[in-house]
Structure formats: C-alpha cells, structure tokens
C-alpha cells in the first residue's frame, strides 16, 4: 500500500490529523492496534481549550460538540472548607468547553468513516522502517498476514507505550520524567453534577475533583495510593471518602448513584525530545505526558496536530519545509509551559507522603495568594484556558 502520510494510532490526535489532511486533499492511512469499541471505551479527559475547539470546527467535526458541550467561564478551588471561584472569562475573555474525549473520538471516527478514510483497526505488531530515507515504511500484521505501507512521512500518535518513540535512535532521544507518589481514583456515574462548574479540592486527606461530562453524567476523582487495589473501593466507600473531602454544602447536595466506570490512574510528567527524527514526527502521548490536574493532555496533543498538520499541508501544497523543520521546537516550547503549569497545580493541590508542616504551610500560602490576587488569577487563567498555539 502507498500513501502520503502514515499515522500510527486512532486516538483523537491521529484521527484529527487524518481528517485535517483529508480536507486539504492529502492521503493518509491510520493504523490502530485495538478495536474501535476498545478505543471508544477509554475514559479520559473532558475539558477542551479554545484552541482545541477551533481545531475541531476546522476539521468539520464540531456539530455535536457545539450542540451538547458545556461552556464553562470559570471553576472553583476549595481549601480550608472555603470555595473560591476563578473567573476565566473575566481574566482572559475565554472559557473552556466540557466535552468528553470519548465523544471527540467518536465524532472524528464518524467523520473519517463518512469520508471513506483508511483507518485499519486490529493492526498488530506495527513497526517503523527506513526513517532516514525518502520512503519510510510501516509494517503490520492483520488476519494472519503481513502488510506494508510505504509513506512520505510517518506521524507517531500511538501513545506512551506505542512503537514510534522506541523507533528513534537512543543517541538522539532524550527523555525527562517525574513520577508522582499517588494516583487518581476516578468514578463515572449517571448523576447530576454537584455544581455547574468544576471544583478542585485541597483537603488534608488528599485531593478531590468534581467534574462532569454532561448535566446528567458526573466524573469524580479522589487522590489515592498509586498501587491501591481497585477491588477494595466499593461505590459506597468512594462516595463516603469523596463527601469527607468536599466542602460541607457540596457534600450535602451531591447526588450519588452506581458507578458505570471505575479506574485508578498513576500520575507522571514526561517529555521526549526531539519530536522529529528523519521522516518520523511524534505527537501527543508518544512525546509527552502531563498529570491530569491541569487538563492539558488532550489539548497538548491537539496543539501538536496544529503544528504538524500545518507543516504537512505547507509541504504538499507549496513545497515548504520550514514548518516541518521547526515542528519539534515549536511544540516543545508550548509543551514545557504546560508541563510547568500541570506540575504546579499537582504540587499545590495534592497531599504528598513526606509532606511536613512547612510544606503544608507553603501550599496553603500559594492557594491563598492565588485566590486573593487579581494578577495571580489572571496568570493562572491564561494558562488554564490554554496558551496560544503560535
């Protein structure tokens, strides 16, 4: 098989890139190891920056998001039992869109299917070859047969554990990582959200977050040990712990119900650089991971695709290579800023195992300064709604 761009991974970043290229007449083939149902079954982020929203509109995949998504102009931070609202729109003129990553992926899947896009699911043992040549190749196995895709370029959108980053030479790739000593226990439930906007909670027992996917579906998180046994967390135990950590008025009004999904996610910060080697470009979780505290994971992947799609379109339409040459530098500039913000939020809002009274005092002082200083809130809001792509 011959195509212009080979894309590994049919998550939102890979599908978004394929759709944007298709709209400009550029061919692509997407290889995905899992089934469509598995991909759609992954419960992930739900807060979209304005840049991501505009990209979905540009990709002609925003109809359902615009009809069903929830625009939030602010959110709350709670510490010491007091709720403080951060007004995003006041400080930046923008808000965020609450719309689940699963829904984004479904919309992109539907768009690629309607366009007859080449998306190959259950493609096993994907391998990359000849990255330094003008015709890099992808090989994979499906239905017991070996297949090959010859490309002009390869986009590695295959996540942290995919083959793309591992295909880069060890003497080229540099990795940076911080692993946090806790995880997030998440519960998804068909209940009314406890508030109209998100609530981030700093509590002496640990972090909590009240989020949502719609006005009838709620997503809650509590900080837990990263090696916690999920089987020991019954729904009742989760609700009890969540109510302890929430401010009293929220705890009293929370609507409880059976979980439809439970999981424990470890937290890490990770950056791989450079994000290009030869004809291979890394994007999304293949190149970087952020703790979910700042809601940056999916949005960072979208900014990568912004830069990569523009670079590929410029090459195929005008023969320009300068955007491809600057791809890694531009992405990493934005990535490191998002990593800093996500690290800061994680550090300020969570309880660390070795935290002493001094650490706790500094943590509370940070939160007090944020909620009492207009300039601090403006800087915070600028980062939360998303820094400009350019």
The pLDDT value given to residue 239: 98
User: H-helix or E-strand containing 289?
Assistant: strand 288-289
Tell me if residue 200 is catalytic.
yes
Integer CA distances (angstroms), 231 to 15, 112, 189, in order: 34, 38, 17
Distance of alpha carbon 91 from alpha carbon 271, whole angstroms: 29
| pTM of the full structure | 0.95
The pLDDT value given to residue 76: 97
Query: Quick check: bond before 274 cis, omega within 30?
Result: yes
Residue 239 lies in a domain: no
Single out the catalytic residue among 91, 296, 306, 330.
296
Tell me if residue 121 is catalytic.
no
Domain hosting 22: range is: 5-71+98-177+267-349
Residue 307 lies in a domain: yes
The pLDDT value given to residue 270: 98
Residue 27 lies in a domain: yes
Single out the catalytic residue among 200, 221, 316, 327.
200
The CATH number that applies at residue 334 is 3.50.50.60
Q: Is 374 left (phi over 0), alpha (psi -120 to 50) or beta?
A: alpha
Tell me if residue 72 is catalytic.
yes
Residue 212 lies in a domain: no
Residue 182 lies in a domain: no
Query: How many C-beta neighbours within 10 Å does residue 252 have?
Result: 10
Is 17 within 8 Å of 302 (Cβ atoms)?
no
The pLDDT value given to residue 46: 86
DSSP state of 254: P
Residue 282 lies in a domain: yes
Residue 125 lies in a domain: yes
Residue 381 lies in a domain: no
Distance of alpha carbon 34 from alpha carbon 315, whole angstroms: 31
Single out the catalytic residue among 12, 136, 163, 292.
292
Single out the catalytic residue among 22, 72, 330, 350.
72
Report DSSP letters for 2-49, one per residue. Answer: B-SEEEE--SHHHHHHHHHHHHTT--EEEE-SS-HHHHHH-----EE-
Distance of alpha carbon 251 from alpha carbon 245, whole angstroms: 8
Distance of alpha carbon 15 from alpha carbon 215, whole angstroms: 27
What is the tally of structural domains in the chain? 1
Q: Which of 83, 341, 294, 364 is nearest to 196 (CA)?
A: 83
How does pLDDT run along the chain (390 residues), one tens digit per residue?
999 999 999 999 999 999 999 999 999 999 999 999 999 987 777 899 999 999 999 999 999 999 999 999 999 999 999 999 999 999 999 999 999 999 999 999 999 999 999 999 999 999 999 999 999 999 999 999 999 999 999 999 999 999 999 999 999 999 999 999 999 999 999 999 999 999 999 999 999 999 999 999 999 999 999 999 999 999 999 999 999 999 999 999 999 999 999 999 999 999 999 999 999 999 999 999 999 999 999 999 999 999 999 999 999 999 999 999 999 999 999 999 999 999 999 999 999 999 999 999 999 999 999 999 999 999 999 999 999 987
Is 103 within 8 Å of 127 (Cβ atoms)?
no
Integer CA distances (angstroms), 158 to 15, 162, 165, 196, 246, in order: 11, 5, 9, 34, 37
């Amino acid at each position: 098989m011959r195509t212009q761009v080979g894309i590994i991974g049919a998550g939102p970043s890979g599908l978004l890139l394929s759709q944007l290229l298709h709209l400009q007449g550029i061919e692509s083939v997407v290889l995905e190891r899992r089934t469509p149902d598995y991909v759609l079954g992954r419960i992930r982020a739900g807060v979209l920056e304005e840049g991501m929203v505009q990209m979905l509109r540009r990709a002609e995949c925003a109809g359902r998001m615009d009809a069903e998504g929830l625009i939030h102009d602010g959110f709350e931070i709670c510490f010491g039992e007091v709720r403080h609202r951060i007004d995003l729109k006041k400080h930046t003129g923008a808000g965020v869109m609450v719309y689940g990553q699963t829904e984004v992926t479904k919309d992109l899947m539907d768009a690629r299917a309607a366009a007859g896009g080449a998306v190959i699911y259950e493609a096993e043992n994907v391998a990359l070859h000849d990255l330094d040549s003008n015709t890099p190749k992808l090989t994979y196995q499906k239905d017991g047969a070996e297949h090959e895709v010859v490309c002009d370029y390869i986009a590695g959108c295959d996540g942290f554990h995919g083959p793309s980053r591992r295909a880069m030479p060890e003497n080229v790739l540099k990795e940076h990582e911080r692993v946090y000593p806790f995880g997030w226990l998440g519960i998804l439930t068909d209940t009314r959200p406890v508030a109209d906007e998100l609530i981030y909670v700093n509590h002496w027992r640990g972090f909590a977050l009240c989020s949502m996917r719609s006005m009838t579906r709620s997503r809650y998180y509590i900080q837990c040990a990263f090696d916690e046994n999920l089987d020991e967390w019954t729904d009742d135990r989760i609700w009890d712990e969540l109510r302890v950590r929430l401010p009293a008025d929220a705890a009293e009004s929370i609507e409880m119900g059976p979980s439809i999904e439970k999981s424990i996610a470890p937290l890490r910060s990770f950056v791989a650089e450079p994000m290009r080697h030869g004809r291979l470009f890394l994007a999304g979780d293949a190149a970087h991971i952020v703790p979910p505290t700042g809601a940056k994971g999916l949005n960072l992947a979208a900014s990568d695709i912004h830069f990569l799609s523009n670079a590929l379109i410029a090459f195929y339409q005008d023969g320009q290579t300068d955007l491809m040459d600057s791809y890694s530098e531009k992405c990493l500039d934005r990535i490191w800023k998002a990593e800093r913000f996500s690290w800061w939020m994680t550090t300020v809002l969570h309880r660390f195992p070795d935290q002493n009274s001094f650490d706790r005092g500094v943590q509370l002082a940070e939160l007090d300064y944020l909620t009492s200083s207009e300039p601090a809130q403006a800087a915070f809001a600028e980062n939360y709604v998303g820094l400009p792509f350019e």
